Amino acid sequence: MPLAIELRGVEFSYGRGAPPVLADVDLAVEQGEFVAIAGPNGGGKTTLVRIVLGLEEPASGSALLFGEPAARFSRRATLGYLPQRPQLAVDVPATVREVVAAGRLASGGLLGPLRRRDRAIADEAIARVGLAAQADSPLARLSSGQQQRAFIAKALAGEPSLLVLDEPTTGVDAGSQEALAELLGRLHRDLRVTVLYVSHEFGAVEQIVKRLVLVRGGIVFDGPPSELPGRWHDPSHAHV
């Protein structure tokens, strides 16, 4: 069974002559792993994720997704990606169910009404994130934490083999961060989907994740959070 993610000797910079954002990156993630990727703002986390997803190509080295070159991955509909601060115009009266159902449209390339199976999968995704009671509510009326759950449900509706969440707790209060971490832990146990949780700090998921990758221009730590040097546990020391 191929690795979910394999980066070998990856280097990347934005523009010729620009300093490298990432250098000498090696990363292997097995299928079914839950990996937290942390580091300071500007440290290269989002760039690494874009390379993993095939949205950027490294200047040197290679990036593989499930054994295929990431930039030419043939099953892109199986990639669930929640980018930083997903936006939905508050003036658009889209309900939670409509937002989540869009995940099936992206998955199947469908036109017209959803099929019964697609509706059932969307409803199941909504239930999994605990929003069944809000399924027909406009997304704009939900709290920020509930909105993030809705976007996670949208990603789940595509039945992903890889779920990538980039700064999912931005703008979410502490209580909602803990609830979101518990939700992700449960989804990982139930679905066995490979998860990359990307953040400038990892306190919300520290209790449920067994592997942390710290990125600062390259990978400076890769292992259990309990073995991370103490100065990096405090987000205020992220630039040390």
Q: What is the pLDDT along the chain (240 residues), one digit of tens a residue?
A: 899 999 999 999 988 778 899 999 999 999 999 999 998 888 999 899 999 999 999 999 999 999 999 999 999 888 998 887 655 545 567 899 999 998 887 555 545 567 888 889 999 999 999 999 999 999 988 888 888 899 899 999 989 999 999 888 777 777 778 888 888 888 888 888 999 999 877 777 777 888 999 999 999 999 998 887 764 554 434 433
What pLDDT sits at residue 116?
Answer: 86
CATH number of 1-75+163-168+193-240: 3.40.50.300
Give the torsion sign (CA, 135, 136, 139, 143).
Answer: negative
What pLDDT sits at residue 170?
Answer: 75
What pLDDT sits at residue 96?
Answer: 93
What pTM was computed for the model? 0.85
What pLDDT sits at residue 28?
Answer: 97
What pLDDT sits at residue 82?
Answer: 87
What pLDDT sits at residue 207?
Answer: 78
What pLDDT sits at residue 113?
Answer: 64
Amino acid (1-letter code) at residue 133: A
What pLDDT sits at residue 52?
Answer: 96
How are beta strands 34-38 and 211-215 bridged, if at all?
parallel
